[in-house]
Amino acid sequence: MPMATSDSSDSAARDLHPSPRLQQSPGVPRAAAGTHVVVVGAGFAGLAVMNGLEDTGIKVTLVDRHYYTTFQPLLYQVATAGLDAGDVAFSARALVRHRQWADFRQGDVTGVDWEGRQVLLSDGDKVPYDFLVLAAGAVTNYFGVEGAEQHALAIYTLDDALAVRSRLYHQLEAANANPDRDGVLTFVVVGGGATGVEMAGALAELLQASLFRDYPRLDRGLPRVVLVERMDHLLTAFDKSLRRYTLSELSRRGVEVRLGESVAKIGEGQVVLGSGEVIQAGVVVWGAGVAASPLAGKLGARQTVAGRLVVEDDLRLSDHPEVFAVGDIAAAPDPSGGVTPQLAQPAIQTGAHAAEQIKRLVAGESTTQFRYHDKGIMATIGRHAAVAQLGKGIDLRGTPAWIAWLALHLLTLLGARNRLTVLVNWSWRYLSWSKGPRLIVGAETGRLTRKEPRAGQQSD
Ligand SMILES: Cc1cc2nc3c(=O)[nH]c(=O)nc-3n(C[C@H](O)[C@H](O)[C@H](O)COP(=O)(O)OP(=O)(O)OC[C@H]3O[C@@H](n4cnc5c(N)ncnc54)[C@H](O)[C@@H]3O)c2cc1C
């Protein structure tokens, strides 16, 4: 997941043949001083927009429902007690502290007043803009599977990761007190993509490597990690040989991989597979898919079947030339003719491109076409085991891929303190085989399988 740099090749042939619609760009302001850009979402894409507008004289306001930005690729390590929450989050205030031209507003964006050019917040406030960049990311997609939202734990936000961790340790305590309870230490992970593979691998490592030091009375045969994937392979986006390697590594680490099996229903303490098989489970983690942020559906703008915002090739919304959509919420064009995957690199690159286009429009220039540069993909399975597909036929597996994965994630974390604490935590775990932060915290404590409705959600 290499960091994007703003790419000079973006200034492609669009300059020579700008579309008349983009050239006209009615109502687009033409002076940096006094131009106000509002960015909704302080994730990879939103931050790339802000970074791209540094030293331009343009004022930027970042709006996010959280007062911190989250490094999602390491959430599963928070969930499995490898890292602490503060290691993967960074204060939004700290991001704007030394930038006189930037501001942060914590708020939940509920819509946009297109006519008045204002972003609407749930507290009734409105934030006016000259340019708007929608970078609100994605949410967990349960694909309508019965009971999934109520009974499975997602792993998309910091709250989700902490809830998984609390449940995990609660189950261990429950098993220690009453090991005969059916499925008490069975962990089912749904989805064999990168999130599911990383989660299953980390769970297996946690349960096998360090569990019995803390719970010496537990039967070593009790913990079970089951990974369910409806395709006949894991990691669809990777080459076949890397998929095979991943399957064999997970199996070697004790994960029961169930390929070609779909989840039909999730109930209280159990998962029902499409084949009819019922797995009694203490914890079910849902890592099977994402959908665009629900904000996309509130705008009256064009969406793809998966709910992502349809954008022009310069990343603007077709009916709103002063509005860009970037990152996971947008369906940006991909060189293959499809759309970019919902990953960090496309988010960073689309964010940087939107910033570049705003600068061009402010300078009275035409926009240029977005071109995605695929810098490769990676997934980790556990200690000394990862896969990396770096393009041009370069595939890594095992220790080299694992080291590359560790280095890349360390480098791309925000904040020197976070990088240092993660490095210390990882080194300590590596040397001691122990897990770091173990406290049981959060609203999930004390419950076995039911998920609490969050604030604002209906209880069923
Ligand atoms: C568990 C997990 C592991 C991952 N691992 C990898 C990996 O290894 N490699 C990789 O490349 N990608 C990975 N990804 C995907 C990657 O993290 C995303 O593609 C990337 O974060 C998308 O960036 P974004 O800026 O579009 O959205 P996000 O980073 O999700 O940021 C969106 C921001 O918008 C805010 N927001 C949302 N709605 C509103 C609203 N209505 N009002 C105000 N604020 C709002 C959110 O709080 C959030 O801060 C992973 C994702 C997850 C969940």
Distance 342 CA to ligand 1 centre (A): 9
| The pLDDT value given to residue 223 | 92
Helix, strand, coil percent content, the chain, rounded in steps of 5: 35, 25, 45
Take residue 296 and report the two structure tokens written for it: 């996309």
DSSP letter at 209 equals I
Taking the CA of residue 330 as reference, the ligand 1 atom at the shortest distance is: 26
**Same-domain pairing of 15 and 131:** yes
Distance 72 CA to ligand 1 centre (A): 6
Taking the CA of residue 136 as reference, the ligand 1 atom at the shortest distance is: 34
Q: Using the predicted structure, report yes or no on whether residue 254 has a pLDDT greater than 50.
A: yes
Distance 236 CA to ligand 1 centre (A): 20
Asked if 6 contacts 356 with a C-beta cutoff of 8 angstroms, the reply is: yes
Angle at 132 between CA 128 and CA 138, to 5 degrees: 120
> Rounded CA gap, 80 and 311, in Å?
37
Mean pLDDT computed over every residue of the chain: 87
Nearest CA to ligand 1 atom 4: 73
Nearest CA to ligand 1 atom 31: 43
- CATH code of the domain containing 193: 3.50.50.100
DSSP letter at 122 equals T
Ligand 1 binding pocket mutation candidate from 63, 72, 199 (most atoms within 8 A of CB): 72
Q: What is the mean pLDDT of the segment spanning 397-420? A: 88
Q: Using the predicted structure, report yes or no on whether residue 409 has a pLDDT greater than 50.
A: yes
Q: Which of 381, 408, 435 is the last residue of a domain?
A: 381
Which of 79-83, 99-103, 431-435 has the least mean pLDDT?
431-435
pLDDT band of residue 439 (cuts 50, 70, 90) is: low
| Helix runs in 57-117, H state only | 75-79, 92-96
**Same-domain pairing of 295 and 283:** no
Residue 101 domain-assigned (yes or no): no
| The pLDDT value given to residue 50 | 97
Taking the CA of residue 295 as reference, the ligand 1 atom at the shortest distance is: 41
Taking the CA of residue 109 as reference, the ligand 1 atom at the shortest distance is: 42
Residue 155 domain-assigned (yes or no): yes
Which of 46-60, 396-410, 437-451 has the least mean pLDDT?
437-451
pLDDT band of residue 164 (cuts 50, 70, 90) is: very high
pLDDT band of residue 433 (cuts 50, 70, 90) is: low
Catalytic residues: 198
Q: How far is CA 437 from the centre of its chain?
A: 22
**Same-domain pairing of 282 and 296:** no
pLDDT band of residue 44 (cuts 50, 70, 90) is: very high
Domain count, the chain: 2
pLDDT band of residue 5 (cuts 50, 70, 90) is: very low
Q: Does an H or E element contain 174, and which?
A: helix 158-177
Collapsed DSSP state (helix, strand, coil) of residue 396 = strand
pTM beyond 0.85, yes or no: yes
Residue with tokens 């990862």: 386
Distance 70 CA to ligand 1 centre (A): 8
More confident residue, 12 or 154: 154
Distance 313 CA to ligand 1 centre (A): 22
Cβ neighbours of residue 84 closer than 8 Å, sequence gap 6 or more: 78, 421, 425, 436, 437
| The pLDDT value given to residue 450 | 37
Q: Using the predicted structure, report yes or no on whether residue 455 has a pLDDT greater than 60.
A: no
**Same-domain pairing of 189 and 307:** no
Nearest CA to ligand 1 atom 7: 73
**Same-domain pairing of 256 and 234:** yes
Residue 21 domain-assigned (yes or no): yes
Cβ neighbours of residue 284 closer than 8 Å, sequence gap 6 or more: 151, 152, 153, 187, 188, 189, 190, 266, 271, 449
Q: Using the predicted structure, report yes or no on whether residue 32 has a pLDDT greater than 90.
A: no
Nearest CA to ligand 1 atom 53: 156
> Rounded CA gap, 123 and 60, in Å?
21
Helix axes of 44-52 and 344-362: crossing angle, nearest 10 degrees: 30
Residue 102 domain-assigned (yes or no): no
Asked if 271 contacts 16 with a C-beta cutoff of 8 angstroms, the reply is: no
Asked if 143 contacts 330 with a C-beta cutoff of 8 angstroms, the reply is: no
Residue 245 domain-assigned (yes or no): yes
Distance 46 CA to ligand 1 centre (A): 10
pLDDT band of residue 6 (cuts 50, 70, 90) is: very low
Asked if 380 contacts 405 with a C-beta cutoff of 8 angstroms, the reply is: yes
Q: Does an H or E element contain 131, and which?
A: strand 131-134
Asked if 259 contacts 244 with a C-beta cutoff of 8 angstroms, the reply is: no
**Per-residue H/E/C for 317-379:** ECCEEEEEECHHHEECECCCCCECCCCHHHHHHHHHHHHHHHHHHHCCCCCCCCCCCCCCEEE
| The pLDDT value given to residue 452 | 36
pLDDT band of residue 210 (cuts 50, 70, 90) is: low
Taking the CA of residue 47 as reference, the ligand 1 atom at the shortest distance is: 25
> Rounded CA gap, 129 and 160, in Å?
32
**Same-domain pairing of 223 and 206:** yes
Q: Which domain holds residue 344?
A: 8-65+107-140+291-362
Which of 6-10, 245-249, 278-282, 303-307 has the least mean pLDDT?
6-10
Ligand 1 binding pocket mutation candidate from 343, 410, 413 (most atoms within 8 A of CB): 343
Q: Using the predicted structure, report yes or no on whether residue 54 has a pLDDT greater than 60.
A: yes
Asked if 442 contacts 162 with a C-beta cutoff of 8 angstroms, the reply is: yes
Q: Which residues line ligand 1 (CB under 6 A)?
A: 1, 40-46, 63-66, 69, 72-73, 75-76, 108-109, 135-137, 155-156, 194-195, 293, 295, 327-328, 342-345, 347
Residue 411 domain-assigned (yes or no): no
Q: Which has the closest alpha carbon to 319: 329, 311, 330?
A: 311
Nearest CA to ligand 1 atom 38: 136
Q: Percentage of the chain surpassing pLDDT 90? A: 70
> Rounded CA gap, 403 and 245, in Å?
17
**Same-domain pairing of 273 and 328:** no
**Same-domain pairing of 210 and 181:** yes
**Same-domain pairing of 123 and 236:** no
Collapsed DSSP state (helix, strand, coil) of residue 44 = helix
| The pLDDT value given to residue 447 | 40
**Same-domain pairing of 136 and 255:** no
Distance 394 CA to ligand 1 centre (A): 27
Residue 329 domain-assigned (yes or no): yes
Residue with tokens 């036929």: 393
Q: Which of 362, 389, 413 is the last residue of a domain?
A: 362
- CATH code of the domain containing 336: 3.50.50.60
| The pLDDT value given to residue 152 | 97
**Same-domain pairing of 189 and 225:** yes
Asked if 52 contacts 6 with a C-beta cutoff of 8 angstroms, the reply is: yes
As a dihedral over the C-alpha atoms of residue 120, residue 414, residue 430, residue 384, rounded to 10 degrees, the angle is 80
| The pLDDT value given to residue 435 | 55
**Same-domain pairing of 31 and 127:** yes
Q: Which of 331, 362, 393 is the last residue of a domain?
A: 362
Give tens-digit pLDDT for 85-109. Answer: 999 999 999 999 999 999 999 999 9
Nearest CA to ligand 1 atom 50: 73
Nearest CA to ligand 1 atom 15: 343
Residue 449 domain-assigned (yes or no): no
